[in-house]
Amino acid sequence: MKIIGALALAAMAATVSLPASAQFAKAEDAIKYRQGALTVLGSHFGRVGAMANGKAAFDAKSAQESAEIVAFMAKLPWAAFAAGTEGGKAKPEIWKEQAKFQDLAKKSEEATAKLAEASKSGNLDQIKAAFGPAANSCKSCHDAFRNR
């Protein structure tokens, strides 16, 4: 399996013109990177969610700060799911259904960008309205592509 992974990675490096952002020396590095990015994303998303769901006091500045971090982080993980980086909690389906995966990733970027935009209003109702679709965009991708 490791040999196949290495060959896939070598083939990718040799034949595909990827942006530098998609390049990792080892599959393990890509896995650590995407898990790290999603951990940071999830932490801040949870903080916004706690406020949106009334489980934490609403603090407009903190909500905006976290929502902007979420939107920034939501752009990062996808390039780290390149061919040859199978592993971690990622289901093999990611590499078999690339179009669907990329579509869901893009929807997450869009939904979290809207959440960040809403957070600038300082209005909890606007944040709540944008939080639901963002949470659903995470869930759709996790349901399809993440092992529990």
Binding site for a second copy (CB under 8 A): 19-21, 23-24, 29, 32-33, 35-40, 43, 47, 56, 59, 62, 65-66, 69, 72, 76
Nearer to a second copy, 1 or 20 (CB): 20
Residue 97 CB, nearest distance to a second copy (Å)? Answer: 25
Maximum CA pair distance of the chain?
Answer: 53
CA-closest candidate to residue 34, choices 48, 24, 49: 24
Q: Smaller CB distance to a second copy: residue 88 or 100?
A: 88
Planar angle of CA 43, 45, 51, nearest 5 degrees: 110
Rounded Cα distance between 105 and 99, Å, is 10
- Select 96 or 148, whichever has its Cβ closest to a second copy: 148
Query: CB-wise, 59 or 125, nearer to a second copy?
Result: 59
**Minimal distance, residue 65 CB to a second copy, in Å:** 6
**Distance between CA 116 and CA 94 in Å, rounded?**
27
Residues 6+ apart with CB under 8 A from 52: 124, 127, 128, 131
As measured in angstroms, the least distance from the Cβ of 23 to a second copy is 7
